Amino acid sequence: MITIFSPHITSRLLFVLDFCFGEKGESYQVYTNEMEYASLDHHDLNYSNQPLAALYTILPEGLLFESEIYEGKEISFDKNSLQIDGVCDELSLVFYFLSRYEEYGAKEKDQHGRMIAKHNILYRLGIHKKAVVDQLVKSLWGELELDYNRVRDQFKLIPSFDIDVAWAYKNRKFFRALGAFVKGGKPLQRLGVLTGVKKDPYDTYAEMRHIAGKTEQFLAFILLGDWGPYDKNIHWQNMAYGSLIRGLNLEGEVGIHPSYQSHSDPSKVEKELQRLEEITGHEITLSRQHFLKFKFPNTFKILSNLGVTDEYSMGFADEIGFRAGTSFPFRFFDLELNSASELRFHPFAYMDSALKDYLKLDPDKAKHAIKQIMDEVKSVGGDFIMIWHNSSIHDTGEWKNWKAVLDFTIEEGLN
């Protein structure tokens, strides 16, 4: 049991302590009375300006004792030391990054309304490829003479796939298939698939099943929105699509992939969730946003209100690394309500298109970049989640030799 002194107990402080200790298997007790704290047999953490005896003292910056959102919080990194408004307060830093404080009111977005990696504070400080929050927690465990090995040993590899378009050519409505045949390229390949001579290039489900059989956890997120410019999935009532989804559900877990146009529309998300529940026959509690398009805190309030408990969009669309500074799941803290939700974020380390299309890496350089990130996650014992698509592992055309990058990730994660 860790004993902690703090002059105040707030929802923000408890959120951070739960992440640092409780969720990692270490119980704690917070005391607000100095005399009561002084009478204890041992004194672990003093989170105050009072000169109390303790293994470790952190001088509060004040963020955890506030209840409002204030613009202009300054995060700096100098000589391997992170500071918030000039104060080395590890607990406030953890809260700042996990609450996504900087994303409330953020104005600079890309054409899809997403935060660009270069606007993320960790990217600007050049430390977005370091799990800085996890390293702060690991260091804190060391100061408190706790055994972090039992946390580090919990490292887990979690492959995940987004099914944006289940098949390139097969199982489409006649008029769309005909229009695609007339307008689209690769007519011989298209004809070969439609006549059963060739395999559809997006039909990579045998490879995905093989991965599911090798890993402890396997996730697939299913797009079931209505047709639109960025939502070009197979119709949700297509029998072959339903059969495919049920098969993936047997291999691992499936979640909803809320459509591009749904991120701020509760009725659309609810409709898409109901579609997936009708197909699978059970409640759906996992979600990842299509295009990683979301807005703080609106999107996550919608998901939480609809019964989603686990959300997998926390990462960069155009970079690799740690958007929130952590590789561990953490609860959504709603700064507007100043309280923690039951919704839990599961950060991902990289997405296939970020490596190839945004960073312009070749497969060999991509492997090297992945190795660096994975070593970081292994050093703290977090979850290594990556995003691939069924349409990116067929190992032909623009994705030639990229299946080897996925295989490399799996092999590194299981070793």
Interatomic CA distance for residues 286 and 103, integer angstroms: 23
Alpha helices in 45-89 (DSSP H): none
Give the burial string for 318-335 (b: 16+ CB within 10 Å, else e): bbbbbbbbbbbbbbbbbb
Which CATH class, in words, describes the domain spanning 152-167+202-414? alpha beta
Domain ranges (residues) in the chain: 1-72, 152-167+202-414
Among residues 295, 311, 313, the alpha carbon closest in space to that of 303 is found at 311
Interatomic CA distance for residues 39 and 385, integer angstroms: 45
Task: Report whether the peptide linkage leading into residue 297 is cis, meaning its omega lies within 30 degrees of zero.
Answer: yes
Interatomic CA distance for residues 265 and 274, integer angstroms: 15
Query: Which pLDDT value is given to residue 72?
Result: 85
| DSSP three-state, residue 370 | helix
Interatomic CA distance for residues 329 and 316, integer angstroms: 16
Helix H, strand E, coil C: the string for 285-297 is CEECCHHHCCCCC
Please report which helix (H) or strand (E) contains residue 255, including its range.
strand 253-256
Token representation of residue 410: 């799996």
pLDDT tens, N- to C-terminus, the chain (415 residues): 999 999 999 999 999 999 999 999 999 999 999 999 999 999 999 999 999 999 999 999 999 999 999 988 999 998 789 999 999 999 999 999 999 999 998 878 899 989 899 999 999 999 999 999 999 999 999 999 999 999 999 999 999 999 999 999 887 764 444 444 444 556 656 556 655 658 899 999 999 999 999 999 999 999 999 999 999 999 999 999 999 999 999 999 999 999 998 988 999 999 999 999 999 999 999 999 999 999 999 999 999 999 999 999 999 999 999 999 999 999 999 999 999 999 999 999 999 999 999 999 999 999 999 999 999 999 999 999 999 999 999 999 999 999 999 999 999 999 9
Tell me the longest C-alpha to C-alpha distance in the chain.
82
Interatomic CA distance for residues 392 and 352, integer angstroms: 8
Interatomic CA distance for residues 27 and 36, integer angstroms: 19
